[in-house]
A and B are shown apart, each in its own frame.
Chain A
Amino acid sequence: MLVKLEPRGQHSRKMAYLSPVLAGVLTLITSGIFFFLQGLDPIHALKTMLYTPISDTYGLAEWCVKAAPILLCAIGLAVVFKAQVWNIGAEGQLLIGGLLASSVAVNVIEAEGIWVLPAILLAGVIGGALWALLAAWLKTHFNANEILTTIMLNYIALNLLVFSVHGPLKDPNGFNFPESAMFGDASLMPVLIEDTRVHAGILFALFAVAAIWVLLSRSFMGFQIKVLGLDHSAARLAGFKSKRLVWVTMLISGGLAGLAGAGEVTGPLGQLVPQISPGYGYAAIIVAFLGRLHPVGILLASLLMALIYMGGEMAQIELNMPVAITGLFQGLLLFYLLACDVLINFRVTLPWLSSQKTTAEQVN
């Protein structure tokens, strides 16, 4: 074998935290070279992608708008993934959340009062949670693999949404176009900064980050979740009710994704449209792992992910780059992150070069 990977034995805690930073730096360097090869000034291009989109109040506000749904989905995924329950269905839970929230909202367009918005958001949370519980029930009662069921439920959710927006929720005055009516003012998320779109959704997301952090690192429930994830039989031996834990984690994860969907329709959209999510639920999976399933890490990762999306748009506008630049950037980042992780946990050896040295180290 030309190259061999050997476990390093001990894990460097410092390096585990440094690896995302290192991956980020390597991504910047590589994309800089890429921009240079495209005939662009690399510093200017990187600045356009990563700084220009957030260089003013509106940009910062948009950053929050874009990050909020990703963050809400990802922070929920941290909980299920810690328990080694693989919910790939945040997308579907988000869509159902948005759908249920909208079904309430279009019926209270004329309504006024402080209860309107909470009722709509609650509908969204319940929608997302129920959609996730469906997969939890299939898992605990029929032992159905949740990876498959949640993925399939994503498609069902999307079709339900498309059906509703072409059917029962369609704007009666909208010439048959697939959109709901615009929601009433009482149904819309309060805007935090005037003349921008940043809405209370980001506050919910930040609150969720704090709550999940407490849950995971300060509560007995969090301890149970982690034990379940690390060793299923140990959890059983300790008398933890693993079925209940699956239900609870899915409930939290689905509810937060549902809230993300409700936040999109009552926030920046203000109506139900067929495409309320450009794949936030899937992006959240990447974000959850990029953030090491740690609430603070996830917060930073979702901000980064949102920035890359916005940077891709800006690169198209200012640099005339194609949309593929967004995917390229994300791909590079993930590639380097995985590569750094491998190199932190494993050591690369070249057996044909120094077979003696490795043997000596092994003896030590």
Chain B
Amino acid sequence: MKKPALKKLLTGLVAGLGLAATLSVQAADQMKVGFVYVGPIGDHGWSYQHDQGRLAVEKHFGDKVKTTYVENVPEGADAERVIRNLAKTGHKLIFTTSFGFMNPTLKVAKQFPRVTFEHATGYKQAKNVGTYISNTYEGRYVAGFVAAKVTKSNKIGYIASFPIPEVIRDINAVQMALNKYNPEAELKIIWVNSWFDPGKEADAANAMIDQGVDVILQHTDSPAAMQAANRRGVYAVGQASDMQHFGPKAHVMSVVNEWAPFYINRVQQVMDGTWKSEDHWGGMAEGEIVIPEFTNVPADVAEEAQSLIDAISAGKLHPFAGPIKNQKGELKVAEGEILEHGEMAGMNWFIEGVSSEIPK
């Protein structure tokens, strides 16, 4: 008689204590979220936009989260220590926001299975590592349309960083729009082999303007090309953040990375325990690619561009809808189909119409 009663009492006590402990933990629990940036937050491009996303997380969740960032982290041996120290100091969710953090993130993730990691622009996932990227190609397609309409010389310049799938995909998206809206227009590409090098970017812009280019697009992060275009009286498309104020006369539109919706969503999922590792692609429909404003563009062009944005957001228009041929003229996507996701993720070929070759 006595024994079971005692046992019951003890079990109850333990359970009660356990519950109390969980409750008190939850009450005091402020989820810590860490961000690792490759550049300084004042770069007005990539890292700046990620930090805007972080600030939005703080605003959205208030006291429920505490965010931490480490900026200017080299994509070398130091990255792993920074990520690990964030994991060790109780950060439950860590965003590593540059491609070069891929292997360090995976290494740390292995040692901290209870911490959730999200790595931007990479291609390796794990049980507790998800990846994310934004569909910049959707914005780039609209930029291609605007460029096709506003060019007078039919020469459009593209400052490209590195021949990785993301960049190749976006060049192709621009060419898709040119093929449709102005087949006469020629796309000139300059590879600067850097994400952020204002000097080189400005040189590239000037060289292209000298060759008669009158609309400049860029897949690099500094506003130097926008400024050069402004000086020389040609048009330009901003990248990553809204670059309007860097070239009031040149700016036609900017393809802005809006990370806030994704970051808020992921923080919520980790809080709720519903997070799952996946390869996330977010675009206009998710509010992750935003084109804030068209400037220096005729009203009818702006209107049509807006209708393209609406169609892409609604899922009615896909920038990579067939028929698509490669440079050799071989059919890659048939009429009525769209480019497969896997093909898009590892894209390493130019579509028909791009005149230059991918550097090897």
Q: Within B161-214, which residues are at the interface with A (CB < 8 Å)?
A: 162-165, 168, 193
Which residues in A have their C-beta under 8 angstroms from that of B345?
A: 175
Known: A162-B193, A166-B162, A323-B70. A264 touches B81 (CB 8 A): no
Which residues in A have their C-beta under 8 angstroms from that of B11?
A: none
Known: A166-B193, A177-B99, A178-B162. A313 touches B78 (CB 8 A): yes
Tell me if A351 counts as interface (CB < 8 A to partner B).
no
Contact (Cβ within 8 A) B89 A317 = yes
Name which residue of chain A comes closest to B34, CB basis: A317
Tell me if A24 counts as interface (CB < 8 A to partner B).
no
Which residues in B have their C-beta under 8 angstroms from that of A65?
A: 77, 81
Name which residue of chain A comes closest to B70, CB basis: A316
Assembly CA distance A222 to B78 (angstroms): 35
Contact (Cβ within 8 A) A195 B111 = yes
Tell me if B348 counts as interface (CB < 8 A to partner A).
yes
Tell me if A269 counts as interface (CB < 8 A to partner B).
yes
Tell me if A30 counts as interface (CB < 8 A to partner B).
no
Quick one: which of A177, A267, A271, A310 has the most chain B CB within 10 A? A177
Tell me if B71 counts as interface (CB < 8 A to partner A).
yes
Q: Within A305-342, which residues are at the interface with B (CB < 8 Å)?
A: 309-310, 313-314, 316-318, 320, 322-323
Tell me if A297 counts as interface (CB < 8 A to partner B).
no
Known: A182-B103, A195-B111. A313 touches B193 (CB 8 A): no
Contact (Cβ within 8 A) B162 A271 = no
Tell me if B138 counts as interface (CB < 8 A to partner A).
no
Tell me if B360 counts as interface (CB < 8 A to partner A).
yes
Tell me if A270 counts as interface (CB < 8 A to partner B).
yes
Tell me if A91 counts as interface (CB < 8 A to partner B).
no
Contact (Cβ within 8 A) A278 B86 = no
Partner of B80 from the list A197, A322, A323 (CB cut-off 8 Å) is: A197
Contact (Cβ within 8 A) B165 A313 = no
Q: Closest CB-CB distance, B299 to chain A, in whole Å?
A: 40
Known: A175-B348, A176-B165, A195-B111. A269 touches B71 (CB 8 A): no
Assembly CA distance A48 to B151 (angstroms): 57
Q: A-B pairs with CB below 8 Å: how many?
A: 91
Q: Within B64-103, which residues are at the interface with A (CB < 8 Å)?
A: 68-78, 80-82, 84-86, 88-89, 99-100, 103
Q: Closest CB-CB distance, A293 to chain B, in whole Å?
A: 27
Contact (Cβ within 8 A) B84 A264 = no
Contact (Cβ within 8 A) B100 A275 = yes
Which residues in B have their C-beta under 8 angstroms from that of A182?
A: 103
Tell me if B287 counts as interface (CB < 8 A to partner A).
no
Which residues in B have their C-beta under 8 angstroms from that of A323?
A: 40, 70-72
Contact (Cβ within 8 A) A310 B81 = yes
Partner of B164 from the list A66, A177, A268, A276 (CB cut-off 8 Å) is: A177
Tell me if A146 counts as interface (CB < 8 A to partner B).
no
Assembly CA distance A162 to B73 (angstroms): 18
Name which residue of chain B comes closest to A197, CB basis: B80
Name which residue of chain A comes closest to B358, CB basis: A176
Tell me if A187 counts as interface (CB < 8 A to partner B).
no
Which residues in A have their C-beta under 8 angstroms from that of B164?
A: 175-178
Partner of B77 from the list A178, A179, A264 (CB cut-off 8 Å) is: A264
Which residues in A have their C-beta under 8 angstroms from that of B163?
A: 166, 176
Contact (Cβ within 8 A) B69 A316 = yes
Which residues in A have their C-beta under 8 angstroms from that of B99?
A: 177
Tell me if A274 counts as interface (CB < 8 A to partner B).
yes
Contact (Cβ within 8 A) A175 B165 = yes
Contact (Cβ within 8 A) A175 B78 = no
Which residues in B have their C-beta under 8 angstroms from that of A195?
A: 111
Contact (Cβ within 8 A) B81 A175 = no
Contact (Cβ within 8 A) B76 A275 = yes
Tell me if A58 counts as interface (CB < 8 A to partner B).
yes
Assembly CA distance A197 to B108 (angstroms): 11
Partner of A270 from the list B72, B78, B103 (CB cut-off 8 Å) is: B103
Q: Closest CB-CB distance, A168 to chain B, in whole Å?
A: 10
Assembly CA distance A96 to B69 (angstroms): 33
Name which residue of chain B comes closest to A68, CB basis: B77
What sequence of 0s and 1s flags, for each residue 159-179 of chain A, a beta carbon within 8 Å of any chain B beta carbon?
000100011000000011111
Tell me if B61 counts as interface (CB < 8 A to partner A).
no
Tell me if A188 counts as interface (CB < 8 A to partner B).
no
Q: Closest CB-CB distance, A106 to chain B, in whole Å?
A: 15
Assembly CA distance A52 to B100 (angstroms): 26
Contact (Cβ within 8 A) A268 B80 = yes
Contact (Cβ within 8 A) B34 A276 = no
Known: A176-B164, A317-B85. A275 touches B34 (CB 8 A): no
Which residues in A have their C-beta under 8 angstroms from that of B86?
A: 317
Name which residue of chain A comes closest to B111, CB basis: A195
Partner of A268 from the list B70, B72, B77, B346 (CB cut-off 8 Å) is: B77
Partner of B81 from the list A274, A276, A277, A313 (CB cut-off 8 Å) is: A313
Contact (Cβ within 8 A) B70 A313 = yes
Partner of A318 from the list B89, B193, B346 (CB cut-off 8 Å) is: B89
Which residues in B have their C-beta under 8 angstroms from that of A277?
A: 76
Could you jot down 10 A-B contacts, CB within 8 Å?
A66-B78, A197-B81, A269-B77, A270-B103, A273-B75, A274-B100, A275-B100, A317-B82, A320-B68, A323-B71
Across the A-B interface, the 5 shortest Cβ-Cβ residue pairs: A268-B77, A278-B74, A323-B72, A275-B76, A316-B70
Chain B residues within CB distance 8 Å of chain A: 34, 40, 68-78, 80-82, 84-86, 88-89, 99-100, 103, 111, 123, 162-165, 168, 193, 345-346, 348, 359-360
Taking A274-B75, A316-B70 as given, write out 11 further A-B residue pairs in contact, using a Cβ cutoff of 8 Å, ordered by the A residue number. A162-B193, A176-B162, A176-B348, A182-B103, A197-B80, A267-B77, A275-B74, A276-B76, A278-B76, A313-B82, A314-B85
